């Protein structure tokens, strides 16, 4: 398979680019930010995502979706990133659906139709500390009656207060650090003894701190197998990591493009600042890094869709490279904009904020570079 | 089984049967590669056999047309061929500036006669080529070159040029059989006054002098032309339009040099360095800051491998920006320099040994110093960034 988009994928790119630019541009982001609404995203736009078929990309045809892969998911996500579109797309339709694909028929039937129609939103309750450490999950799920009782704290649960269901990773056996003994649960909203405290983040997304004070869930709410949730969590995190990497390629690419345009417009000392070699070389270096990051992300997506054994390595590479590169793009972007780069009026600062959040989401570049070292045995 | 899968099976069994075991060991350096040519001394029988077997099948240049010595493989087949070669660790049967640089230019600009004559020689490894581009006063500003070709006629030679001047940084000029050379044939027109000539390095009036580098090696020469006669038909493209050929060829040269960024292919540099540094009780490299740098480097290398694959695929499919080789050259050479900085850092004082047997004659420090030329030769990193800025980002000025 050549390492570029095929004809069908190129068509999807065209329609995603046009749709998101028209329906979810940066002005849409600003509108929802300034409204200060509790969800931080537009439910109407989420419906439109569903009408476009986007929410069904990773849902099998058998379950009513499109049965496509991570390349297609990434095509949409890159456009989401480029336009800073506030959307539950990554958490719900990508990472959430990847996990639900491993659920039994009943859970699927409960949640997939709502995702396909753009009614349902999922939250991911994985992280327990400020840094992403999914191998150190401590939250307890103790057997209780016919089900389990959940006790512990989660944070960085994006859209947690708006979500119809939270996907929760908890420990049913073993101790912190063990690979076995994790179980993944689907916890409906308004569950008793669950405290959800929303907090607005730097990029205006609304995340929640969720405290489980002995939340009862029944046995049917287990996604996958009891004690074998590590496999489900892996699939969820992999989808989230490659998805957020694709979104960061969009954020970095968008930041680079508006910066290059600014270099062509802004005059100082009687000439366009883009004529100064000091800035040209930095912009060209950024271009080079963006091309590399984009290729690494596409490579990882293709390997995942092929089911290649190399996919896990490349997903870490993609998240690390996209993270560093998008970060370079927004830092260079603000600096090259000069004073106006510090203003709320110009968009470049919004890209910087979004990049910061996406870099942390599903593990930052250091986390993933460390994984690359571990996979290579050093 | 699809046609491509069938092809993969065939190629694999052909490689398994025909590639000698010695030719599946990693290459130790440029001296260890097969360069072909009139005066080439094969390192061993296996190297000779491997070249002959590949040349007979067109596998030295698998994607060139069969009539010019290639195997006529499609883009998809050529990719499979490269993959299978890499999987079995097969060495390239022939390394040559003819394949990497002149060949693509001849395929695009050469006459049918030239293609059949020169491309065949290149594919079979019979003629080793060198490149006459840079001059003492013309480095990054290549188009200012002064080597001059004057039109002349005599009974014996017919119409010809008389070439006078000097080239510098001519790679392996002292070992090459022929040169492709940029020569000014019109002093008035800067860009349209350059012609692309081909001539024999044994022609009277050609002399070479190796340049000793900081690596202690001399891969480059100064090359002098003193009234060298070049027959009129040994020109590629039209008179005065050599700059078009030169630029096209530079694209391929940059692409070739960018390949250095891939290192020795499949191995993680961090994993290789565990030998020199050792692991601590947690199974981590016993130098935390170096480990972090190596991890970052491995990320960059794997990501660069992806962009290289994409670049090749896009080129074969006629996609991609025409100035993209400049980006590849920039990124690949900077990465390769970084690789060798890390190798030196991990090697400690062992990596300083310049002449010992244990160090294979100072391979590490010599390779490290050699890589410093990567971001200078074939267009400096700064020139690459200029080209990206002008042709891809379309920034104003300059």
Instruction: Give the pLDDT confidence of B106-122 residue by residue, as tens digits.
Output: 999 999 999 999 999 99
Give residue B258's pLDDT.
79
A194: which DSSP letter? E
Going by pLDDT thresholds of 50, 70 and 90, the confidence category of residue A244 is very high
Which among B245, B237, B236, B225 has a CA at the least distance from the CA of B150? B225
For A141-189, the pLDDT digits (tens) are: 999 999 999 999 999 999 999 999 999 999 999 888 787 899 999 999 9
Give residue A19's pLDDT.
98
Q: Which of A90-99, B149-158, B377-386 has the lowest mean pLDDT?
A: B149-158
Q: Distances from the Cα of A185 to the Cαs of A128, A141, B294, in angstroms?
A: 16, 9, 38
Give residue A20's pLDDT.
98
Which among A230, A246, A219 has a CA at the least distance from the CA of A99? A230
Q: Is the pLDDT of residue A271 over 80?
A: yes
Which among A94, A95, A154 has a CA at the least distance from the CA of A127? A154
Strand boundaries in B155-239, DSSP class E: 158-171, 178-184, 194-200, 206-211, 220-231, 235-236
Which residues on adjacent β-strands are paired with residue B162? B150, B229
* Whole-number average pLDDT of chain A: 97
Closest chain B C-alpha to A177 CA, distance in angstroms: 14
What is the mean pLDDT of the segment spanning B123-131? 96
Give residue A179's pLDDT.
78
Going by pLDDT thresholds of 50, 70 and 90, the confidence category of residue B398 is low
Q: Is the pLDDT of residue B260 over 90?
A: no
pTM summary value: 0.91
Give residue A192's pLDDT.
96
Q: Let me know: does B272 contact A351? Beta carbons within 8 Å.
A: no
Going by pLDDT thresholds of 50, 70 and 90, the confidence category of residue A344 is very high
Residues whose CB is less than 8 angstroms from the CB of residue B153 and which lie 6 or more positions away in sequence, other chains included? B159, B160
ipTM of predicted complex:
0.96
Q: Is the pLDDT of residue B261 over 80?
A: no
Q: Which residue has the higher pLDDT, B76 or A357?
A: A357
For B3-33, the pLDDT digits (tens) are: 899 999 999 999 999 999 999 998 877 888 9
B285: which DSSP letter? B
| A222 backbone dihedrals φ, ψ, rounded to 5° | -80, 130
Give residue A345's pLDDT.
97
Tokens in use for A349? 């600062």
Give yes or no: B222 in active site. Answer: no
What is the mean pLDDT of the segment spanning A361-376? 97
| Nearest CB to A377; choose among B274, B296, B382 | B274
A4: which DSSP letter? S
User: Chain B: residue nearest A322 by CA?
Assistant: B303
N-to-C CA span, chain B: 55
User: Chain B: residue nearest A258 by CA?
Assistant: B393
Q: Distances from the Cα of A358 to the Cαs of A15, A320, A361, B107, B335, in angstroms?
A: 24, 11, 5, 47, 26
| pLDDT more than 70, % of chain A | 100
Is A45 strand, coil or helix?
A: helix
Closest chain B C-alpha to A261 CA, distance in angstroms: 9
Give residue B264's pLDDT.
60
Q: Distances from the Cα of A83 to the Cαs of A159, A255, B87, in angstroms?
A: 19, 10, 42
Going by pLDDT thresholds of 50, 70 and 90, the confidence category of residue B263 is low
- Given the structure tokens 């006790």, which residue do they identify? A151
Q: How far apart are CA A296 and CA B264, in angstroms?
A: 19
Closest chain A C-alpha to B137 CA, distance in angstroms: 23
B116: which DSSP letter? I
Give residue B251's pLDDT.
85
Q: DSSP characters for A51-103?
A: HTTGGGTTS-TTTTS----HHHHHHHHHHHHHHT---SIIIIIIIIHHHHTTS
Tokens in use for B112? 């049918």
Q: Let me know: does B70 contact B61? Beta carbons within 8 Å.
A: yes
Give residue B266's pLDDT.
61
SS3 content of chain B, % helix, strand, coil (to 5): 50, 15, 35
User: Chain A: residue nearest B281 by CA?
Assistant: A378
* Whole-number average pLDDT of chain B: 93
Kindly report the number of other CB atoms within 10 A of residue A54's CB atom.
29
What is the mean pLDDT of the segment spanning B42-56? 96
- Given the structure tokens 């603000």, which residue do they identify? A334
What is the mean pLDDT of the segment spanning A187-201? 96
Give residue B28's pLDDT.
79
Q: Is the pLDDT of residue B265 over 60?
A: no
What is the mean pLDDT of the segment spanning B247-261? 82
Cβ <8 Å between A271 and B397: yes
Q: Which residues of A touch B (CB under 8 A)?
A: 2-4, 260, 263-264, 271-272, 274-275, 277, 280-281, 283-285, 287-289, 291-296, 298-299, 313-314, 316-318, 320-321, 324, 365-366, 368-370, 372-373, 376-378
For A117-141, the pLDDT digits (tens) are: 999 999 999 999 999 999 999 999 9
Going by pLDDT thresholds of 50, 70 and 90, the confidence category of residue B252 is confident
Interface probe for A, chosen from B278, B319, B393 (most Cβ of A below 10 Å), is: B393
For B294-333, the pLDDT digits (tens) are: 999 999 999 999 999 999 999 889 898 999 999 999 999 9
């Amino acid at each position: 398979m050549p390492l570029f988009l095929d004809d069908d994928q190129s068509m999807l790119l065209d329609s995603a680019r046009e749709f998101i630019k028209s329906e979810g541009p940066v002005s849409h982001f600003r509108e929802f930010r300034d409204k200060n609404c509790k969800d931080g995203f537009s439910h109407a736009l989420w419906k439109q995502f569903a009408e476009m078929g986007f929410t069904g990309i990773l849902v099998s045809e058998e379950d009513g979706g499109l049965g496509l892969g991570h390349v297609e998911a990434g095509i949409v996500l890159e456009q989401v990133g480029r336009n800073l579109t506030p959307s539950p797309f990554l958490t719900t339709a990508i990472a959430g659906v990847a996990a639900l694909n491993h659920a039994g028929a009943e859970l699927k039937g409960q949640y997939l139709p709502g995702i396909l129609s753009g009614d349902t939103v999922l939250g991911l309750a994985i992280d327990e500390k400020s840094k992403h450490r999914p191998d150190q999950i401590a939250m307890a799920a103790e057997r209780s009656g016919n089900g389990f009782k959940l006790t512990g704290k989660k944070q960085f649960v994006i859209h947690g207060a708006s979500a119809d269901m939270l996907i929760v990773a908890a420990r049913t056996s073993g101790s912190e650090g063990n690979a076995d003994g994790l179980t993944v649960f689907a916890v409906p909203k308004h569950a008793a003894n669950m405290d959800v405290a929303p907090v607005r983040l730097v990029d205006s997304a609304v995340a929640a701190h969720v405290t489980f004070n002995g939340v009862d869930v029944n046995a049917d709410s287990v996604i996958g197998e009891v004690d074998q949730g590590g496999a489900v969590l892996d699939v969820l995190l992999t989808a989230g990591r490659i998805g957020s990497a694709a979104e960061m390629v969009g954020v970095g690419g968008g930041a680079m493009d508006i910066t290059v345009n600014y270099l062509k417009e802004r005059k100082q000392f009687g000439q366009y600042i883009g004529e100064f070699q000091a800035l040209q070389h930095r912009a060209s270096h950024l271009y080079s890094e963006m091309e590399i990051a984009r290729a690494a992300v596409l490579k990882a997506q293709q390997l995942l869709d092929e089911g290649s054994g190399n996919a896990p390595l490349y997903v870490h590479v993609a998240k690390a490279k996209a993270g560093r590169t998008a970060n370079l793009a927004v830092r260079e972007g603000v600096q090259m904009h000069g004073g106006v780069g510090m203003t709320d009026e110009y968009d470049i600062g919004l890209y910087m904020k979004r990049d910061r959040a996406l870099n942390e989401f599903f593990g930052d570049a250091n986390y993933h570079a460390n994984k690359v070292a571990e996979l290579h045995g050093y | 089984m699809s046609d491509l899968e069938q092809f993969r099976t065939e190629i694999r069994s052909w490689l398994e049967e025909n590639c000698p075991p010695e030719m599946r060991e990693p290459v130790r350096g440029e001296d260890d590669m097969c360069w072909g040519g009139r005066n080439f001394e094969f390192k061993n029988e296996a190297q000779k056999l491997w070249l002959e077997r590949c040349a007979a099948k067109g596998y030295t240049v698998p994607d060139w047309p069969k009539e010019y010595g290639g195997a006529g493989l499609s883009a998809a087949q050529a990719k499979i061929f490269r993959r299978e070669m890499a999987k079995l660790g097969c060495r390239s049967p022939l390394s040559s500036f003819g394949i990497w640089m002149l060949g693509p230019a001849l395929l695009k600009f050469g006459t049918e006669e030239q293609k059949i004559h020169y491309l065949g020689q290149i594919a079979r490894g019979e003629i080793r080529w060198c490149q006459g581009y840079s001059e003492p006063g013309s480095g990054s500003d290549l188009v200012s070159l002064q080597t001059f070709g004057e039109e002349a006629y005599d009974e014996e030679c017919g119409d010809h040029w008389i070439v006078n001047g000097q080239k510098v940084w001519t790679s392996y000029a002292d070992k090459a059989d022929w040169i492709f050379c940029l020569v000014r044939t019109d002093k008035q027109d800067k860009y349209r006054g350059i012609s692309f000539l081909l001539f024999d390095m044994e022609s009277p009036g050609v002399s070479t002098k190796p340049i000793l580098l900081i690596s202690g090696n001399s891969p480059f020469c100064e090359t002098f032309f003193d009234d060298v006669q070049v027959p009129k038909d040994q020109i590629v493209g039209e008179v005065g339009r050599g700059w078009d050929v030169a630029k096209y060829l530079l694209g391929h040269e940059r692409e070739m040099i960018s390949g250095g960024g891939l290192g020795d292919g499949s191995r993680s540099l961090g994993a290789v360095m565990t030998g020199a540094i050792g692991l601590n009780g947690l199974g981590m490299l016993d130098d935390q800051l170096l480990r972090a740098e190596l991890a970052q480097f491995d990320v960059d290398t794997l990501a660069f491998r992806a962009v290289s694959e994409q670049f090749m695929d896009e080129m074969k499919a006629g996609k991609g920006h025409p100035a993209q080789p400049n980006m590849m050259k920039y990124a690949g050479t900077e990465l390769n320099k970084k690789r060798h900085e890390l190798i030196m850092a991990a090697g400690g004082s062992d990596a300083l040994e310049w002449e010992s047997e244990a160090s294979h004659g100072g391979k590490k420090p010599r390779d490290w110093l050699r890589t410093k030329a990567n971001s200078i030769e074939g267009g400096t990193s700064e020139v690459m960034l200029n080209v990206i800025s002008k042709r891809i980002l379309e920034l104003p000025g300059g």
